[in-house]
Structure 1
Amino acid sequence: MSLCQPLDRSFFQLPTLELAKSLLGMLLVKETESGTASGWIVETEAYIGPLDRAAHSFGNRRTPRTEVMFGPPGYVYTYVMHTHCLVNVVSGREGNPEAVLIRAVEPCTGIELMFERRGKDKQLPDLTNGPGKLTKALGIVKEDYGSPIFEPPLYIAEGKKIHSIEAGPRIGIDNSGEAKDYPWRFWVSGNRFVSR
């Protein structure tokens, strides 16, 4: 039994920069055998494929890892970076490999489960205020790769209205030339769960 209705797959057909902003406030939900956990998305980063030096698919680089990005929008792109699993939503037209990284969420349900997964000693904002933290807290794993983000067990549902969004350069991509300065990171103004 799903917590709430997943968004229709057509939602994910928005242009990538628009999708990155539209995802703010939406509810990211993961159902697992140990329970369901969810959080409102409060920070995202857009990666505009072939022309974006910071994107894994820069120059249309097609590898087993980036393959899902060449498919239709609305699918899960997970990868591991420094032992952390990161979760992205594939965006852009089919054949045009783009994606939106989910950088931070504000816990909604399953908070006890999040503390079990992340450590009882954590402060609440520290549970999910980063891309590797939120996947661990929600139970999102590399094996979620390629699944539709509009169907359980990992999906995005209608969330809450956001009143103010800010934009700035993306984080941790210093070696990507001019792309490091693109203002393609978006976050909910004043939200304490934003990564930094």
Structure 2
Amino acid sequence: MLILSGNDPFPRVCVCHSSGTNATEETTVPSEPRLSRSLRRMTDGRDGTPRTNGSDTPLPRTFFDRPPLDVAPDLLGRFLVRGTARGDITVRLTEVEAYAGETDPGSHAYRGRTRRNASMFGPAGHAYVYFIYGMWWNLNLVCGRDGHAGGVLLRAGEILTGREQARERRPAARDDAELGKGPARLATALGIDRDLDGTDVCSGEQGAPLGVRAGRPVGAAAISAGPRTGVGGAGADHPWRFWITGDRTVSPYRAHQPRRRQR
């Protein structure tokens, strides 16, 4: 449940969920910020089509130079652009998860810096790409202060342009909504691999391999929050997964399944 609170220039919301008792745990995350006039012009026209003069504006590094819990819901509706030799693939982000680094038991950085997770320690506005289950790549955007790990996992999105490339990489998708429905599917559709780890997503350069643009941000009323998919242990109940309510591209929630020890 999203609850508006406070009267500061960047209103926040409390994400509340039942902890299994009469008590309720609250986590503070940002709601829709008070937008400047120039940023308001980035949003949709009345017919639902993007105003490209604003939606194509690259997000500055200061957007990512905030805690992951602030950045994550603010990424919903933004455009992720994957530049390829065959043209751009543009994705409207619909589902994300926040990871708070060394203080987060669910984070790769919880036990400190390694060669694998080095990109997660900054600077902000870069990609953190990792391999999972020996099969799939996942794409994260690094957030927060340089030297302090933090990131947002991109879990799902709607492919807006470059669908032909995405379909070639995801031939098993039954329809376009499934092309980027889930973090591994999204990364596969975009052709993400280890070579993109550490890539600057704020360069703003034409033809850059990765970039994030203003897109069509959504307000707090359109955002749902809940536990992160597949996270167990102390961080299992953190409501740090955010998605656009009712969007067909959002992946289903799956609770953590402990691995059975082989005898």
Using the size of structure 1 for normalisation, the TM-score is 0.92
- Mean alpha-carbon deviation: is it higher for 147-156 or for 118-127? 118-127
SS in structure 2 at match of 1:125 = helix
Does structure 1 residue 133 correspond to structure 2 residue 185?
Answer: yes
Bigger CA radius of gyration: 2
Deviation at 1:72, TM superposition (A): 1.5
Aligned 8 A contact 2:66 2:144 in 1: yes
Which runs of structure 2 are paired with 1:142-157 in the superposition (5 Å)? 142-151=194-203, 152-157=208-213
2:261 corresponds to: none
Instruction: State the partner residue of 1:25.
Output: 77
* 1:15–1:91 contact (8 Å) kept in structure 2: yes
**Pair 13,123 (structure 1): closer, same or farther in 2 beyond 3 Å:** same
Residue 187 of structure 1 corresponds to 243
3-state SS, counterpart of residue 83 of structure 2: strand
Q: Distance in 2 between matches of 1:139 and 1:133?
A: 10
The aligned counterpart of 1:62 is 113
CA displacement 1:31-54 (0-9 Å, x = unmatched): 112332111000000001111111
Distance 1:80 1:121 in 2: 21
Matches within 5 A, 1:18-97: 18-59=70-111, 61-82=112-133, 83-97=135-149
Contact 2:73/2:242 (<8 A) preserved: yes
Is 1:38–1:138's contact at 8 Å kept on the other side of the alignment?
A: no
Instruction: State how far apart, in whole Å, the 2-side matches of 1:107 and 1:5 are.
Output: 18
> Alpha-carbon deviation of 1:121?
5.5
Deviation readout 1:126-167 (Å, 9 max, x if unpaired): 110100111111122221000111132201111113141010
Per-residue displacement from partner, 1:20-78 (whole Å, max 9, x unpaired)? 0111000011011233211100000000111111100003x111111112222111000
Gaps of 5+ in 2: 1-54, 253-263
Percent identical: 40
The answer on whether the counterparts of 2:74 and 2:217 sit within 8 Å (CA) in structure 1 is no
Give the paired residue count. Answer: 191
Stretches of 4+ moved more than 4 A in 1? none
Please tell me the residue identity of whatever aligns with 1:194: V
One-letter amino acid matched to 1:69: M
Deviation at 1:120, TM superposition (A): 6.4
State how far apart, in whole Å, the 2-side matches of 1:179 and 1:120 are. Answer: 33
What's the TM-score, normalizing by structure 2?
0.70
Which residue identity is paired with 2:96?
T
SS at match of 2:70: helix
How well do the aligned residues superpose, as a CA RMSD in angstroms?
Answer: 1.5
